[in-house]
Amino acid sequence: MKNTDWGKLPFGYFKTDYNVRVYHRDGKWGEIEVHSSEYVSIHIAATCLHYGQEAFEGMKVFQGKDGSIRVFRWEENAARMRSSADGIMMAPVPDELFWDAMVRVVKLNRKYVPPYGTGAALYVRPLLIGTGPQVGVKPATEYMFMIFVGPVGPYFKEGFNPVKIQLVRDYDRAAPQGTGQIKVGGNYAASLRPASRAKEEGFASVLFLDSKENKYIDEAGPANFFGIKGDTYVTPDSSTILPSITNKSIRQLAADMGMTVEMRHVPVEELEEFDEVGACGTAAIISPICQIHDRETGKEYNYCKDGKAGRKSTALYNKLRAIQYGEEPDPYGWITVIE
């Protein structure tokens, strides 16, 4: 990959050589197919097109310091995809199939794994869709599981430099008893308008409030929110938040660094009390936040006075990255090496 400037990659689509696909028909999964086309041909009445039977995942593969190809916590993504499938009545993908498909597509696109030291990673995007036709609102009888991959840089162009985000009160991402806790396309469709507006207005992302009472911090766009005060790491608990695997990992790291970890409702007013705040996710990694602007009230919450990420967020970021890239031991068993 001579002409790729790995260190400057954005988070976006990057054409690679192969993707993999598997069909679920007559109640069972078929064989993994390898394709080089970027297009899929599906029935005009497929349920993914009409009724949103679609779930996806996002994982990263890293080239370690020793040259190994390292996947971060893939079993968690496989389990979450099953929970998404269950939530919108799709055929679940067994762990073994998830793993086999992932290893196949990563190995086939081996040359696209960014070299160690560039800060980039290979993003792995599994996708499960209802392909069987229905016109009445019913689950499909056929499904397709696919994975494509592509090298990526940080989700926010700022990388680990702090971003400004916009707190919104006039849009909800997901309903209180809806699909916010699973990773289905509809949640992202609902976020497009407020997220685009936030970008137009100069913010990297949007910060949603809980959709029942509009009182508590919810999702930070395509990432979870966290705040740090003193030695306490606080992250919202809510029925509309996607259980982030990155956040789960950071909670563990924070606890092991001697911090107190709290997962609970976080009232908007508490934004005043945090020393550091950030967004976390596979794509966002840890993105420190320097300002939260409440679009409705005009109130601004400012963090990181010198324009830099706070000390604790930086320590957590460094620790997570060191485990991912194999610079430090992985006592948690989070990494699986693809041989």
Site residues, ligand COI (CB under 6 A): 58, 222, 281-283
What are the structure tokens assigned to 4, written together?
């790729």
Q: What does the alpha-carbon distance between residue 81 and residue 128 come to, in Å, rounded to a whole number?
A: 8
Q: Is 287 helix (H, G, I), strand (E, B) or coil?
A: strand
Report CA torsion sign: 294, 300, 302, 308: positive
The answer to whether the CB of 165 falls within 8 A of the CB of 292 is yes
Residue 74 Cβ vs ligand COI, minimum distance, rounded to whole Å: 13
Q: What does the alpha-carbon distance between residue 177 and residue 7 come to, in Å, rounded to a whole number?
A: 41
Residue 245 binds: one of ligand COI, ligand PLP, none (C-beta under 5 to 8 A by kind): ligand PLP
Site for ligand PLP contains 224 (CB under 6 A)? yes
Residue 184 Cβ vs ligand COI, minimum distance, rounded to whole Å: 11
Residue 243 Cβ vs ligand PLP, minimum distance, rounded to whole Å: 7
Measured from the Cβ of residue 276, the count of other Cβ atoms closer than 10 Å reads: 22
Site for ligand PLP contains 181 (CB under 6 A)? no
Q: Which of 102, 113, 182, 223 binds ligand PLP (CB under 6 A)?
A: 223
**Whose Cβ is closer to ligand PLP: residue 131's or residue 324's?**
324
- Judged by CB under 6 A, the stretch of 6-14, 22-30, 195-203, 245-253 that binds ligand PLP is 245-253
Residue 253 binds: one of ligand PLP, ligand COI, none (C-beta under 5 to 8 A by kind): none
Residue 186 Cβ vs ligand PLP, minimum distance, rounded to whole Å: 12
**Whose Cβ is closer to ligand PLP: residue 177's or residue 302's?**
177
What are the structure tokens assigned to 124, written together?
């792995």
Give the ranges where 176-325 is alpha helix by DSSP (H): 185-200, 245-256, 311-324
**Whose Cβ is closer to ligand PLP: residue 178's or residue 222's?**
222
What are the structure tokens assigned to 74, written together?
């893939």
Residue 245 Cβ vs ligand PLP, minimum distance, rounded to whole Å: 4
Strand partners, 71: 61, 336
Q: What does the alpha-carbon distance between residue 182 and residue 251 come to, in Å, rounded to a whole number?
A: 20
Residue 197 Cβ vs ligand COI, minimum distance, rounded to whole Å: 18
Residue 234 binds: one of ligand COI, ligand PLP, none (C-beta under 5 to 8 A by kind): none
Q: What is the DSSP letter of 319?
A: H
Report CA torsion sign: 117, 119, 122, 124: positive
Q: Which of 282, 287, 313, 324 binds ligand PLP (CB under 6 A)?
A: 282
Q: What does the alpha-carbon distance between residue 73 and residue 69 come to, in Å, rounded to a whole number?
A: 13
Site for ligand PLP contains 218 (CB under 6 A)? no
Nearest residue (beta carbon) to ligand COI:
58
